[in-house]
């Protein structure tokens, strides 16, 4: 039996593949390589280059590899881009997810883990935000993910099908063994952008908004290291396989850092006082969002191993310094 990882050639998906292979699982990846890379899929996993919208390919892959669980990462993730292209996000994140869920039900795949987002909360009234907080997305990205959560909930009530949706906060860092990292083209994640600037791949970086109601006027986020996030997915897989009911969990550390604090950490680690430009707010950005994480710790026994901003930043910097060599060696 195998685990199907959609989007397994991307940033988080490639780390999930490593986590599963390290645990002795058989893994098959479906990825259209629009933002992922063939070289990012670890040896030992089978790669099917296709879009999850191709139902025939998904169905055949499930049957050929005896898939008994799906971990679904494939989709679009950039908040400002979703504001500019809402229909594209509803297609990639909602319509295609609907097709994948339908194929899973048709093929008898009972366990499904979904890559959701803290963006479903919008700008929460209280932090840390719990899973029972009001859902009020501020962007089509958040709305498209929430729609998929709703589809999963309804499907689990109608069929022999159970899911875990993991609401990520801000994913950062790189594999602690140096095997993978964030290589997404034109990435907008703060730590990724700051590290690219620190190593000279960008001439400068922007801070979007300095007038938020936070300690220093910049946005505050909860940053979760990518291996810890992958471990949360494997804990969710164990939970479902042992008969756990459908559930939704936050994935974060319950502590927040401002944009200025993160940039300061990157400057310390790199030794480079790079240029930072202050710019107006971006549409769709909440002022502050920090995870309440007791539910996932209690229910799944998840224990983070890399809860340290300086460690996360150093991993990202080291990846940025070596990723070009890795890409060249893989081509």
Active site residues: 141
Cβ(76)–Cβ(130) below 8 Å: no
DSSP letter string over 225-241? EHHHHHHHHHHHHHHHH
Token pair, residue 327, equals: 């890409």
Bridge-partner residues for 29, per DSSP? 5, 47
Q: Does 119 sit behind a cis peptide bond, omega within 30 degrees of 0 on the bond before it?
A: no
Question: CA 166 to CA 181: how far, in whole Å?
Answer: 20
Query: What phi, psi does 318 have (nearest 5°)?
Result: -65, -40
Q: How many angstroms separate the Cα of 225 from the Cα of each of 155, 237, 298, 319? A: 31, 19, 19, 13
Among 74, 63, 90, which residue's Cα sits nearest to residue 31?
74
Question: CA 181 to CA 14: how far, in whole Å?
Answer: 8
Q: What is the enclosing helix (H) or strand (E) of 97? A: helix 96-106
State whether residue 150 is helix, strand or coil: helix
Q: What is the CA radius of gyration of the chain?
A: 19
Cβ(139)–Cβ(79) below 8 Å: yes
């Amino acid at each position: 039996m195998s685990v199907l990882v959609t989007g397994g050639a991307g940033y988080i998906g490639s780390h999930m593949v490593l986590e599963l292979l390290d645990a002795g699982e058989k893994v098959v990846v479906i990825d259209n390589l629009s933002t992922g890379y063939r070289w990012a899929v670890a040896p030992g996993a089978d790669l099917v280059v296709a879009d999850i919208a191709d139902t025939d390919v998904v169905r055949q892959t499930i049957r050929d590899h005896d898939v008994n669980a799906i971990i679904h990462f494939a989709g679009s993730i950039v908040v400002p881009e979703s504001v500019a292209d809402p229909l594209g996000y509803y297609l990639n994140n909602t319509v295609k997810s609907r097709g994948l869920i339908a194929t899973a039900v048709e093929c008898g795949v009972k366990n499904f883990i979904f890559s959701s987002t803290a963006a479903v909360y919008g700008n929460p009234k209280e932090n840390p935000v719990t899973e029972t907080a009001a859902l009020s997305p501020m962007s089509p990205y958040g709305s498209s993910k929430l729609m998929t959560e709703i589809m999963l909930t309804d499907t689990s009530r109608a069929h022999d099908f159970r899911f875990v949706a993991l609401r990520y906060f801000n994913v950062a860092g790189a594999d602690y063994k140096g095997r993978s990292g964030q290589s997404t083209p034109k990435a907008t994640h703060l730590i990724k952008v700051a590290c690219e600037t620190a190593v000279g791949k960008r001439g400068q970086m922007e801070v979007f908004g300095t007038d938020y109601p936070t300690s220093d006027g910049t946005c505050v986020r909860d940053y979760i290291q990518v291996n810890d996030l992958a471990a949360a997915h494997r804990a969710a897989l164990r939970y479902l396989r042992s008969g756990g009911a459908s559930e939704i969990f936050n994935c974060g550390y319950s502590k927040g850092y401002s944009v200025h604090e993160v940039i300061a950490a990157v400057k310390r680690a790199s030794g480079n006082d790079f240029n930072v430009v202050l710019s107006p707010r971006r549409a769709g950005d909440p002022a502050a969002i920090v995870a309440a994480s007791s539910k996932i710790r209690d229910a799944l026994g998840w224990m983070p191993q890399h809860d340290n901003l300086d460690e996360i930043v150093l991993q990202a910097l080291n990846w940025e310094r070596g990723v070009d060599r890795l890409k060249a060696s893989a081509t």
